[in-house]
């Protein structure tokens, strides 16, 4: 149940670079940003019923603590909901960015009405969230859905280590979908600033760029086939900036692989569709989740 299926209206925004110095510095900046955005919107903490905070995971949305994350310095066992809530003087609900995106896509986006769907983002990183029987899969300690860290490759040559020549992932593992297909990893492997440069170079015929793009597509193809066979969703909703700018390198290889390689029954049941909510999906999801949780609703995603 949800109060309204209207897209939340964004009345003010404030964007900042993530500090690279310490976890405390990140928290301070988030709090300062929250204060600024309240000032812009001409509201006080007393006017704010609840705030939603989206963060990379793994994290526990019930305790509000991020367990670890490779993309933000110092976020190890960091009680974000409590720290940001104290700083702003408002009640803060934390959740993983991909869970909030899945909630938004489910309520007001591409997954409306779907009971069994998977949300994937291909962006700076690769992440996911799983919904079955109309409920978000949370798992035994609330970290389920980290589909970007499903390993899709290993070294075949038994005389070498399983991770030799396989891209290392910032999570500490190797062969993860993220290690191949995330924007940050593609850029780094090519020695470029942005993933877009790699795709541009590949389009111009650069051999090394094409090889990296092909590997990224193969990793996403394996992910798509695995999700289809393992979870039998009716939808795979794919968001993130790489998906938005390079659909032919994300959606197309996923669709082709499912058609060619997945079992027939789950392949016939699934559609791979782009996310509907674009770059603001995280903000929409955060607002919707905070509203539902503050109102005692939202059982389906808790």
Helix axes 183-190, 207-231, angle to 10 degrees: 150
CA nearest to 7, candidates 90, 76, 85, 109: 109
Nearest distance, CB of residue 280 and its own copies, angstroms: 26
For its own copies, the binding residues in 27-66 under the rule CB under 8 A are: 58, 60
Applying CB under 8 A, among 111, 221, 272, 275 the residue interacting with its own copies is 221
Applying CB under 8 A, among 53, 88, 147, 277 the residue interacting with its own copies is 147
From residue 257 to residue 276, the character string flagging contacts with its own copies as x (rule: CB under 8 A) and all else as - is ---xxxxxxx-xxx------
CA-to-CA distance for 209 and 1, rounded, in angstroms? 47
Phi, psi dihedral angles at 117 (to 5 degrees): -145, 160
CA-to-CA distance for 157 and 142, rounded, in angstroms? 36
CA nearest to 120, candidates 130, 110, 107: 130
From residue 184 to residue 203, the character string flagging contacts with its own copies as x (rule: CB under 8 A) and all else as - is --------------------
Is position 226 an interface residue for its own copies (rule: CB under 8 A)?
yes
Structure tokens at 124: 């700076």
Applying CB under 8 A, among 35, 91, 194, 218 the residue interacting with its own copies is 218
Question: Helix H segments across the chain?
Answer: 23-40, 80-88, 97-108, 177-181, 183-190, 195-203, 207-231, 241-245, 247-261, 264-269, 281-294
Instruction: Report strand pairing: 117-122 vs 235-239.
Output: parallel
Structure tokens at 286: 């955060």
Nearest distance, CB of residue 95 and its own copies, angstroms: 15
Query: 12 or 265: whose CB is closer to its own copies?
Result: 265
Length of the chain, please?
302
Nearest distance, CB of residue 206 and its own copies, angstroms: 12
Nearest distance, CB of residue 126 and its own copies, angstroms: 11
For its own copies, the binding residues in 148-167 under the rule CB under 8 A are: 149-156, 158-159, 162, 165-166
Applying CB under 8 A, among 84, 144, 198, 237 the residue interacting with its own copies is 144
CA-to-CA distance for 235 and 252, rounded, in angstroms? 15
From residue 116 to residue 135, the character string flagging contacts with its own copies as x (rule: CB under 8 A) and all else as - is x-----------x-x-xx-x
Nearest distance, CB of residue 5 and its own copies, angstroms: 22
Nearest distance, CB of residue 225 and its own copies, angstroms: 5
Number of residues forming the site for its own copies (CB under 8 A): 66
Structure tokens at 252: 């197309």
3-state secondary structure of 47: helix
Strand partners, 174: 168
Handedness of CA 7, 293, 238, 180 (dihedral sign): positive
Residue 93 burial (10 A CB sphere; 0-12, 13-18, 19+): buried
Applying CB under 8 A, among 146, 238, 249, 250 the residue interacting with its own copies is 146
Nearest distance, CB of residue 111 and its own copies, angstroms: 12
Binding site for its own copies (CB under 8 A): 58, 60, 67-68, 115-116, 128, 130, 132-133, 135, 137-147, 149-156, 158-159, 162, 165-166, 171-175, 210-211, 214-215, 218-219, 221-222, 225-226, 229-234, 260-266, 268-270
């Amino acid at each position: 149940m949800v109060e309204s299926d209207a897209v939340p209206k964004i009345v003010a925004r404030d964007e900042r670079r993530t500090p690279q110095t310490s976890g405390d510095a990140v928290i301070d900046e988030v709090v300062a940003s929250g204060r600024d955005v309240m000032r812009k919107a001409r509201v006080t903490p007393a006017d704010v019923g609840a705030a939603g905070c989206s963060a990379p995971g793994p994290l526990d949305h019930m305790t509000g603590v991020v367990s670890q994350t490779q993309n933000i310095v110092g976020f190890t066992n960091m009680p974000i909901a409590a720290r940001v809530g104290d700083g702003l003087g408002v009640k803060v609900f934390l959740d993983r960015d991909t869970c909030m995106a899945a909630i938004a896509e489910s309520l007001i986006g591409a997954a409306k009405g779907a009971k069994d769907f998977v949300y994937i983002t291909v962006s700076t990183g690769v992440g996911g969230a799983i919904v079955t029987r109309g409920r978000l899969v949370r798992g035994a300690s609330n970290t389920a859905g980290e589909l970007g860290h499903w390993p899709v490759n290993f070294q075949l040559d038994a005389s070498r280590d399983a991770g030799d020549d396989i891209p290392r992932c910032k999570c500490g593992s190797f062969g993860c979908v993220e290690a191949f297909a995330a924007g940050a990893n593609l850029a780094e492997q090519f020695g470029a600033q942005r993933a877009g440069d790699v795709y541009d170079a590949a389009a111009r015929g650069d051999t090394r760029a094409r090889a990296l793009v092909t590997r990224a597509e193969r990793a996403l193809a394996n992910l798509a086939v695995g999700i289809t066979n393992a979870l039998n969703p009716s939808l795979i909703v794919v968001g993130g900036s790489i998906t938005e700018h390079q659909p032919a390198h994300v959606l197309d290889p996923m669709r082709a692989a499912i058609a060619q390689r997945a079992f027939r029954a789950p392949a016939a049941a699934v559609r791979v569709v782009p996310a509907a909510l674009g770059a603001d999906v995280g903000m929409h999801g955060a607002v919707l989740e905070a509203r539902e949780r503050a109102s005692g609703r939202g059982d389906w995603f808790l």
